């Protein structure tokens, strides 16, 4: 049996960051991962994630993403690893939809640098895109791309430098807390600690069966497509992009390598009952809508997927995160339900989790992410 100050379950985006921040504060921390670190079985893989400030989902995310930008920069410096590529973000959508007005509200509330792109300038600025006449076009110059696997490895590297312990390929079978001490049993061992941090992604509900918080896991597919010409290449100035259309919400990344341009639909996904048995071979039920999107708005993309990857969204009823202490056990801290837009926040979430473990509170503005909020309780 091993004994530690804290145990972190799950070492994906959030768990790796929590491990790094806890160990960086001098705690003896154990990280448990049911697969190998850097695996592609959960929600922290697929090469790229978007990072952006103008948060249409809720303006209260903006201070958190601002802090994350600073922490990503710190992590880059500490590990001498390139993690963020500031390509800019082009956003296309109707003026009365959810996304464009939401971005405008967030930008106005926090004084963010968001540009309106005139219709006359769209083709010259974004030659690979063909928005419809009723779409507004916004540009966020400091948005860009996170190298997702490199980000996870950088956090783990920092954690190991600070003497964190990592156990791979050992699934958690059960845990219990007395409120003062926790005991975590895996398939091969028993570990004890003063605190427990649960960052289990799609497996959170399995570990919190008595928590009475409803979360739904969805299977998501991202695909890579061929292109004609060079206008979608990152070195030609192509940004990351989002389209809020009448057929769904789509996003994508410029061409970074020989795989092509990466595109996916964000607002759908098949419900998953068992995250360990997800089918990774087939493509999405939304394949037809993605192909329609490409045909309509990306004229020089070939709408036949050359590669695809499968990950999972763990959705809360209101699509906002849960970051909180367990309602019954104050020495158990939970980060869950990142609903397909959480990875960019990993370093600030890790810092917040370390705050909650070491002091029981945080100065970061997370009241809207508490597990006691009405949408979660009602859900």
Catalytic machinery residues: 45, 48-49, 262, 266, 311, 344
**Tally of CB atoms within 10 A around 316:** 22
C-alpha 137/C-alpha 119 separation (Å) is 8
Rg of the chain (C-alpha set): 21
Burial 27-36 (b: 16+ CB within 10 A, else e): bbbbbbbbbe
* Other CB atoms within 10 Å distance of the CB of residue 242: 23
Give the C-alpha separation, 138 to 313, whole Å.
Answer: 26
Report CA-CA distances (Å) from 109 to 72, 96, 369: 23, 19, 19
CB 16 within 8 A of CB 38: no
Number of Cβ within 10 Å of residue 77's Cβ equals: 9
Phi-psi region of 212 (alpha: psi -120 to 50; beta: other; left: phi over 0): left
């Amino acid at each position: 049996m091993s004994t530690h100050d804290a145990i972190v379950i799950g070492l994906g985006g959030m768990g790796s960051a929590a491990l790094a921040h806890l160990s960086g504060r001098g705690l003896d921390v154990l990280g448990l991962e049911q697969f190998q670190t850097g695996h592609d079985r959960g929600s922290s893989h697929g090469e790229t994630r978007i990072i952006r400030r103008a948060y249409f989902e809720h303006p209260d995310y903006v201070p958190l993403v601002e802090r994350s930008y600073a922490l990503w920069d710190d992590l880059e410096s500490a590990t001498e690893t390139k993690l963020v590529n500031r390509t800019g973000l082009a956003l296309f959508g109707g003026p009365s939809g959810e996304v464009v007005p939401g971005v405008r509200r967030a930008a106005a509330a926090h004084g963010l640098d968001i540009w309106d792109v005139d219709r006359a300038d769209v083709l010259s600025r974004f030659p690979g895109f063909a928005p419809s006449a009723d779409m507004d076009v916004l540009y966020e110059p400091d948005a860009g791309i996170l190298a997702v696997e490199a980000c996870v490895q950088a956090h783990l590297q920092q954690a190991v430098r600070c003497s964190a312990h990592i156990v791979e390929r050992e699934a958690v079978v059960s845990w219990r807390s007395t409120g003062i001490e926790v005991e975590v049993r895996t398939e091969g061992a028993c570990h004890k600690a003063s605190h427990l941090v649960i960052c289990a992604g799609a497996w959170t509900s399995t570990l919190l069966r008595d928590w009475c918080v409803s979360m739904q896991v969805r299977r998501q597919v991202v695909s890579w497509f061929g292109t004609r010409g060079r206008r979608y290449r990152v070195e030609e100035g192509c940004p990351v992009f989002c389209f809020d259309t009448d057929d769904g919400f789509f996003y994508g990344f410029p061409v970074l390598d020989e795989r092509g341009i990466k595109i996916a639909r964000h607002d759908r996904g098949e419900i998953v009952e068992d995250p360990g048995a997800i089918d990774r071979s087939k493509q999405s039920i939304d394949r037809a809508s993605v192909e329609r999107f490409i045909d309509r708005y990306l004229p020089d993309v070939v709408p036949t997927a050359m590669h695809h990857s499968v990950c999972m969204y763990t959705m809360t009823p209101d699509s906002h995160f849960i970051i909180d202490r367990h309602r019954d056990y104050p020495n158990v801290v939970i980060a869950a339900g990142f609903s397909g837009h959480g990875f960019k926040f990993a370093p600030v979430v890790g810092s917040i989790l370390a705050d909650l473990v070491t002091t029981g509170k945080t100065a970061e503005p997370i009241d809207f992410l508490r597990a006691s909020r009405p949408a979660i309780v009602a859900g």
